Each structure stands twice: as C-alpha cells, then as structure tokens.
Amino acid sequence: MFSLRILFNVLLIGSILFFGSFDFDEPIKTSKKNLLKTVCLDAGHGGKDPGCHGPKGNQEGKVTLKIILGVGRMLKEAYPDLKIVYTRDTDTFIELNERANIANRNKADLFISVHCNAALNKSAYGTETYTMGLHKSDGNLNVAKRENAVILQEKDYENTYGGFDPNSPLSYIMMVNYQSAFMANSVKFASFVENNFAKTYNRKSFGVKQAGFLVIWRTAMPSVLVETGFLTNPEEEDYLSSEKGQQEVSDAIVKAFKQYKEDLEK
C-alpha cells in the first residue's frame, strides 16, 4: 500500500510531466496599458457667460471652444479608441457643477478645462496651469474668483455649492482636501502642459499653480484648469483668436496628454 507521501510525489511528478515545470517565484504581471480610456474636455464659459473680453472684441467662451474642439480632434486622431467627452461642443451655458458631473458620470480618467486669462494690466501675458488647492497668492485667488463668479448666474447657487461665496476667501478653505487623492497626477499633467507651452512654442510660462476652482473641485479624477494666455493683452488676443494660435495651444495640450499617458502606463 502506498503511503500518502509516495502518492503525493507520484501526483506531483505526473503534473510536472503533463503541465511543465512551475516557477513559483515569478511575479504575476499586470498590464498598465489603457489606463487612460476616457478624457473629459471642458471649454470654459459659453452662452450667456462669455467670460472675459479682449480689447478687439473676442470672447473667452468662443476662443476656448475652438481650442478644446481642436484638442478633441487631435486626440481622436492619435488614439481612435480613446473616449472623448465634451462638457459642451457648442456656444452654450453649462453650470460649473454640471461640468464636474459630466466628467464623473462618464468615469473620466482626466479632466482638462481650458480658459483665457484677464488682467487690468493690458501688457500681462503668458500661460499658467492650475490644479485644485488653496491659493498661495492674491493673484491666484483673483483668478479663481473671476472664474468662479459665473455661479452668480446660476439658479439656486447657494444650495448647489453649499453656501459657497466666490468673493469670500474663507469659502475657499473648505475646498482644499477634495482633490488631494489626485493631486500628484494633476500636477504631473499640468507640468507637461506648461513645459510644452514654453519649450515647444516658446510661450512665457508662469508654471503650475494652485487655487480653488469650482469647476475642478468635485471631479473624481486628476483635473487641471489651463489658462492659455491673457485675452486682455491685444497681442495675445490676436494669437489666441487666430487659427495658428489655437492650433498651437491645442497641440501643446495634446503633446502633454501623450507624455502623461506614456508616463502613467510605463
């Protein structure tokens, strides 16, 4: 009669002969490909909220729409399987909380909101890309205030945003922690954007900054707000409203996406 040990050895040898030898120390490999399946593209302002105006009459909401549609076209050409979600693809008004809701409903892996900057100083120029966070300067706060002021055009905004007052610095304190889980990747993508503006197209870059923007407050994924230039500067207005300028801005953002995707999936 075979002992249990002999029986076990017979079965083990048979298994090896049938299936081949096993390497029990080899780790299970998991693929990192296709981590970026869906991107949500947000053209700032629109419709009854034109955003800032250039001295020659160009409106932020219309400029950002052309840029974001360009980004979408380029991304689709480069990545046919990538799902592109627009918060708006026409000159319409979309509430800030609904923009975040659109990204969340579609389970986006990245949220990109495009805007044009404004300043009383008409010679101000350059780009900057924001991630969610507490403002570290009055300048950052002022940019956030201007972009968030659109909620005053929304119905029942007090309840929608939990009593948030876009003109109160204290209101911004409550917004800090929501995006913390995605901060590292948000900053990484923002850095790629600003690097491409500066090195690829020789734009003046103010770098990556933080401030409390309602449009990226409640997004459940890495999110950035790109200020593509100062529409209030006549020279930048000409650039941002031109086909060449819009193509370059779109291309810089797409190049940043490619770098971010490669870095994320390597």
pTM of the model: 0.82
Which strands sit side by side in the sheet containing 38-43, from one edge to the other? Answer: 83-86, 38-43, 110-117, 223-230, 127-132, 205-211
pLDDT beyond 50 at 25: no
Q: Identify the pLDDT of residue 17.
A: 42
Q: Identify the pLDDT of residue 232.
A: 98
pLDDT beyond 70 at 21: no
- In whole angstroms, give the CA distance from residue 21 to residue 13: 10
Which amino acid appears at position 223 of this protein? S
Tens of pLDDT, residues 192-230? 999 999 999 999 999 999 988 889 988 999 999 999 999
Number of helices and strands (H, E) in the chain? 9, 6
Tens of pLDDT, residues 70-101? 999 999 999 999 999 999 999 999 999 999 99
Mean pLDDT of the chain: 86
Compute the Cα dihedral for 241, 127, 175, 36 and give only its sign: positive
* Backbone phi and psi for residue 111, each to the nearest 5 degrees, phi listed first: -120, 125
pLDDT, mean of residues 178-199: 91
pLDDT, mean of residues 154-169: 79
- In whole angstroms, give the CA distance from residue 59 to residue 45: 9
Compute the Cα dihedral for 66, 72, 74, 77 and give only its sign: negative
Q: Identify the pLDDT of residue 3.
A: 52
> What domains sit in the chain, N to C, each tagged with a CATH number?
35-265 (3.40.630.40)
Tens of pLDDT, residues 104-127? 999 999 999 999 999 999 999 999
Q: How confident is the model at residue 149 (pLDDT cuts 50, 70, 90)?
A: confident
Query: What residue ranges in 176-266 does DSSP mark as E strands?
Result: 205-211, 223-230
- In whole angstroms, give the CA distance from residue 95 to residue 114: 15
Per the DSSP assignment, residues forming a β-bridge with 112 are 41, 224
CA angle 145, 150, 152 (to 5 degrees): 100
- In whole angstroms, give the CA distance from residue 63 to residue 219: 23
